[in-house]
Amino acid sequence: MERCPSCRGRLNESALCPRCGCDLGLVFSVEARAENLVRLAIRAWADGNPKLAQAHIDKSLALKRGALAETLAPLLRKIARGECRADATATPDQGIGSAGHHAILDQEM
């Protein structure tokens, strides 16, 4: 978040808006939780648990409409319903492979 939702003032690293003094600590906590749920969704997807991945991404979207979560949500829904495959054995025309995702996730977390 770059601007205070109360006064639209520019934010710095503080949990308090420098312009109006609004305490944004809870808002920052919710944003962090939403981002963590996206990471958990990607991890669950990489672990071959698309239903858990979809649940995590849906919870993330309930907290914050982030671009990555909105992009992943329709894909994870299709995978969870079995409409497309996303595993290490899938060929390029069958879906998205998950090989190597753990290394990427471990670096991000």
Supply the DSSP string of 26-40, one letter for each residue: HHHHHHHHHHHHHHH
Whether pTM > 0.95 for this model: the answer is no
The rounded distance, in Å, linking the Cα atoms of 29 and 46 is 26
Contacts of 101 (CB under 8 A, 6+ apart): 42, 45, 46
Phi, psi of 94 (to 5 degrees): -95, -20
- Asked if residue 102 has pLDDT above 70, the reply is no
Could you tell me if residue 101 is inside a domain? Answer: yes
- Three-state DSSP at 95 gives strand
Could you tell me if residue 103 is inside a domain? Answer: yes
pLDDT for 6-63, tens place per residue?
999 999 989 999 999 999 999 999 999 999 999 999 999 999 999 999 999 999 999 9
Could you tell me if residue 73 is inside a domain? Answer: yes
Token pair for residue 19? 């312009």
Could you tell me if residue 26 is inside a domain? Answer: no
How many distinct structural domains can be found in the chain?
1
Question: What confidence category does residue 76 fall into, taking pLDDT thresholds of 50, 70 and 90?
Answer: very high
Domain span at 49: 34-108
